[in-house]
Structure 1
Amino acid sequence: MHRLRDLVLGPGRAVSVLSFTEILCWGILIYPPVLIMPHLAADHGWSLAFGMAGFSIGLVTSGMLSPTVGHLIDRHGGNVVMSAGALTGALGLVLLTLAEHPVIYLACWLLLGAAMSSTLYDPAFATLTRIFGASARRQITFVTFAGGFASTVGWPATQLLLEHVGWRGTYLTFAGVLAFVAAPLHGFALPRTVAVAPLPAVSGSTVVPAAPMRPEGWPFILLVAAFALHFFILSGVTSNLLAMLQRGGMDAATVVAVGTLFGPAQVAARLVDFLTAGRTHPLWIARGAVTLTAFAFAMLAFVGASPLVAVLFAIAFGAANGVMTVARGALPLVMFGPVGYGRVIGRIARPGLFVQALAPFVVASALERFSDGAVLVSGIVGALLALGCFMAIRAPGRA
């Protein structure tokens, strides 16, 4: 009864609120473009590549703003920052439906990138850490577990709206959800409890945060590099995987069925981590995730793209990404402590978001120039490099 009261009235309601709003924000800002963009591009007479370039600009903008957004959450809380982000996203979607000129269209994605930087996982992690301090890992895990359902909600909702109200009506509907559901929940329902005092303003003296390690030097560089490599593999492969499987001889229906396993595998892996939270150091979770990624690529590269192997690949790769998201929130908390966490996780996210924006085009170009097998082998190499980075890190605690 006490736990139920806390989820509704106490600080624990931050978990309830963010679990719900992360599904909305991911399902509105990240997943719909793959379905909407062909309609948008055809309506304007633009190429699909140009349409998707807007989405890439949004990701790059998100990366540029992430440290600043994290710092603002450290100082002012997620109430202000995440509600403003949802309203910015709503404005960007409304303007996107009105944009006829290519330059204005791309400018709209600057607003949407700002919304991404202030409403998705990183600001949610920063908000939870500000509220719960060093004990925020379990809350972070639960929110990522719920957020794993975003594709389950976002893609069917997008497809249904496209069929009934077109792409403009779809984005206007999503703008209404951000403005009248997500923004009020962030602004008024998120608790304002502060477990970690915000960093004092700099006034000539250097403030030394009370954290196990300082977010600088080789441990920080290795952590950033490892997560950036994971982002590159994830974005580059998922955007081209279905086409690679079809070239391997699988029919379209089977390929789509295989693709649907990715989301449930993420959720299942996060559920396991949630049920065992605190028993495994997040550094070992990250090492295990990239090892599983390398194994998944090796299966597909050396055994071949049969339906069974493709299913095993989707499950393994999805599970690896599922727990890697948890590690991305928990590992910086363990290594660098809760003070200034928002800015730290923003700094970590920035290079990853840059490579996430570039990876689909880089991998697609590599597939045109080289074989699918060569690209899969490069994925193995990337995963092993990330593993090397994680193995070289010696974090405080039990790692």
Structure 2
Amino acid sequence: MALSPGLAEERTARPGRRRLVGALAVTQTVGYGVLYYAFSVVVGPMSRDLRVSTATAAGALTAAVLVTGALSIPVGRWLDTRGGHGLMTAGSVLGSAAVLAWSQVQSAAGLYVVFVVIGAASAMVLYEPAFAVVVAVTDPARRAKALLSITLVAGFASSIFIPLTGQLVARLEWRHTLVVLAVMLAAVTVPLHGLALRRTASPGDRVDRHRHHPPSQVLRDSGFWLLAATFVLHGAALAVIAVHLVLYLISLGHSSALAATLAGLLGLLSVTGRVVTTVATRWLPMASIAAVIFVVQGAAMSLLPVVGRHVAGAIACLILFGLGFGVASIATPAILLDRYGATGYGTIAGMLAAPVLVARASAPLGGAVLAATVGYRSLILMVAAACVMAGGFLALGSRVSTERAASPR
């Protein structure tokens, strides 16, 4: 029995799409591992060698995230018009060269220059462009599975690269470690992006006739600004917890080793949370699920000052909080696609990512200032409030969307 041309084309395309998703899962894992997570291990010996404070050195990573945020919109526009092949391949080359240059810096000024370049490379190769490529080439029914596959694998980037970098630093010292990581980044990501993305079309090549929202129209949508408020608040809260949780647990009376172990639960639970969230979308909209999860996270953080002095209490709170630690990564594209469709996705996602990345970059420093002035307990309660507000804004944004869709035109 002969297959119809459309079915035959679809069956031929499936292996290519599976290879694409597999390639992006690997490149995201290595990209995040080298361009982001390795810094936490290298910063100590690097600061001593450069004779700068840890805070000064850490500011370079903040600068990189700010640059990534600033480039989110132009990168999104590029993805919409030209696709991700050239951009992500060039970003892999740029990122590898920047990490190699990082291994040779001799001053704080040189470090900051290198991290501006790393921020630019990150904007070209990490989640946002990878998701835009998936949106361009994957059928709507398979997008959620594809995005989940990528984020599940990449969710282990910290678990793989923080210990790996630690072992390399112990044996090679930090400069040689960065040379090894730069070679690894180039050897893995450049060929995979260069080969696996060759036949990917830009999202703009497929016009979603049912939900075509030009970016200028999106900016006039109150629901978009509610989404922005949601993910800015939630992103800032997660960034504060990622940096300050160990110190807060120590202030509650836990040992440094136990505090670090408890904080490590967040990375492992984030993977579990992504799976649970994706499965739950069979029965509920992603926006509703994410809103509930954010509120639960807020409740867990509000209880941490009360029960966190006991190991069991701290574990319970961190389990509830950790299950939502990686949900925003899969919720954001799902919500944007549901609300605005695939056309112009790269630009719209970039417009949302820009303020969120700025919040993530700025929040740890703001958290440090607040902790010094009002104390860690108040800071944790502010994080709890931010999560609850994020859930409320997301629920309100979904209601605005529903009411507008139902209103007569």
Match of 1:261 in 2: 265
Instruction: Supply the distance in 2 between the matched residues of 1:299 and 1:9 (Cα, whole angstroms).
Output: 47
Is the Cα–Cα contact under 8 Å of residues 231 and 352 in structure 1 kept in the other structure? yes
Match of 2:40 in 1: 34
Is the Cα–Cα contact under 8 Å of residues 261 and 314 in structure 1 kept in the other structure? yes
What is the SS of the residue equivalent to 1:46?
Answer: coil
Deviation (angstroms), 1:212: 11
Match of 1:103 in 2: 109
Instruction: Supply the distance in 2 between the matched residues of 1:78 and 1:212 (Cα, whole angstroms).
Output: 20
Q: Paired residue for 2:197, among 151, 166, 190? A: 190
Instruction: Supply the distance in 1 between the matched residues of 2:280 and 2:248 (Cα, whole angstroms).
Output: 36
Match of 2:275 in 1: 271
Q: Report the count of equivalent residues.
A: 390
Instruction: Supply the distance in 1 between the matched residues of 2:210 and 2:145 (Cα, whole angstroms).
Output: 27
Q: Paired residue for 1:145, among 152, 165, 178? A: 152
Residues 191 and 275 of structure 1: is their aligned pair in 2 closer, same or farther, counting only changes over 3 Å?
Answer: farther
Deviation (angstroms), 1:304: 3.3
Q: Paired residue for 1:162, among 153, 157, 169? A: 169
Match of 1:215 in 2: 218
Is the Cα–Cα contact under 8 Å of residues 88 and 115 in structure 1 kept in the other structure? yes
* 2:327 counterpart letter in structure 1: V
* 1:330 counterpart letter in structure 2: A
Deviations 1:116-167 (A, max 9, x none): 1112111111110111154422211221111111111111111111111111
Q: Paired residue for 2:394, among 358, 369, 390? A: 390
Residues 165 and 7 of structure 1: is their aligned pair in 2 closer, same or farther, counting only changes over 3 Å?
Answer: farther
What is the SS of the residue equivalent to 2:16?
Answer: coil
Identity %: 27
Instruction: Supply the distance in 1 between the matched residues of 2:168 and 2:139 (Cα, whole angstroms).
Output: 40
Stretches of structure 2 lacking an aligned partner (at least 5 in a row): 1-7
Deviation (angstroms), 1:348: 0.5
Is the Cα–Cα contact under 8 Å of residues 212 and 396 in structure 1 kept in the other structure? no
What is the SS of the residue equivalent to 1:54?
Answer: helix
Is the Cα–Cα contact under 8 Å of residues 43 and 57 in structure 2 kept in the other structure? yes
Residues 30 and 396 of structure 1: is their aligned pair in 2 closer, same or farther, counting only changes over 3 Å?
Answer: farther
What is the SS of the residue equivalent to 2:298?
Answer: helix
Instruction: Supply the distance in 2 between the matched residues of 1:118 and 1:326 (Cα, whole angstroms).
Output: 19
Q: Paired residue for 2:81, among 51, 75, 82? A: 75
What is the SS of the residue equivalent to 2:218?
Answer: coil
Deviation (angstroms), 1:277: 4.7
Match of 1:250 in 2: 254
Is the Cα–Cα contact under 8 Å of residues 40 and 162 in structure 2 kept in the other structure? no
Is the Cα–Cα contact under 8 Å of residues 17 and 186 in structure 1 kept in the other structure? yes
* 2:28 counterpart letter in structure 1: E
Match of 1:336 in 2: 340
Residues 212-361 of structure 1: matches in 2 within 5 Å? 214-216=217-219, 217-361=221-365
Match of 1:203 in 2: none
Deviation (angstroms), 1:396: 5.3
Deviation (angstroms), 1:12: 2.3
Q: TM-score, normalised by structure 2?
A: 0.89
Is the Cα–Cα contact under 8 Å of residues 62 and 114 in structure 1 kept in the other structure? yes
Higher helix share: 2
Is the Cα–Cα contact under 8 Å of residues 142 and 274 in structure 1 kept in the other structure? no
Instruction: Supply the distance in 2 between the matched residues of 1:8 and 1:181 (Cα, whole angstroms).
Output: 23
* 1:215 counterpart letter in structure 2: V
| Runs of 4+ deviating beyond 6 Å | 5-8
Residues 8 and 336 of structure 1: is their aligned pair in 2 closer, same or farther, counting only changes over 3 Å?
Answer: closer
* 2:350 counterpart letter in structure 1: G
Is the Cα–Cα contact under 8 Å of residues 228 and 355 in structure 1 kept in the other structure? yes
Q: Paired residue for 1:54, among 47, 50, 60? A: 60
Q: TM-score, normalised by structure 1?
A: 0.91
Q: Say whether residues 1:112 and 2:118 are aligned partners.
A: yes
What is the SS of the residue equivalent to 1:31?
Answer: helix
Residues 208 and 261 of structure 1: is their aligned pair in 2 closer, same or farther, counting only changes over 3 Å?
Answer: closer
Cα RMSD for the two superposed structures? 2.5
Residues 374-385 of structure 1: matches in 2 within 5 Å? 374-385=378-389
Is the Cα–Cα contact under 8 Å of residues 83 and 203 in structure 2 kept in the other structure? no
Is the Cα–Cα contact under 8 Å of residues 23 and 192 in structure 2 kept in the other structure? yes
Instruction: Supply the distance in 1 between the matched residues of 2:75 and 2:354 (Cα, whole angstroms).
Output: 11
Is the Cα–Cα contact under 8 Å of residues 13 and 191 in structure 1 kept in the other structure? no
Deviation (angstroms), 1:387: 1.8
Instruction: Supply the distance in 1 between the matched residues of 2:23 and 2:283 (Cα, whole angstroms).
Output: 26
Instruction: Supply the distance in 2 between the matched residues of 1:371 and 1:239 (Cα, whole angstroms).
Output: 15
Deviations 1:166-224 (A, max 9, x none): 11111111111222211110111235243844389xxxxxx997259942221111101
Instruction: Supply the distance in 1 between the matched residues of 2:311 and 2:278 (Cα, whole angstroms).
Output: 30
Instruction: Supply the distance in 1 between the matched residues of 2:395 and 2:280 (Cα, whole angstroms).
Output: 22
Instruction: Supply the distance in 2 between the matched residues of 1:108 and 1:262 (Cα, whole angstroms).
Output: 30
Instruction: Supply the distance in 2 between the matched residues of 1:280 and 1:209 (Cα, whole angstroms).
Output: 21
Instruction: Supply the distance in 2 between the matched residues of 1:11 and 1:240 (Cα, whole angstroms).
Output: 40
Deviation (angstroms), 1:314: 2.1
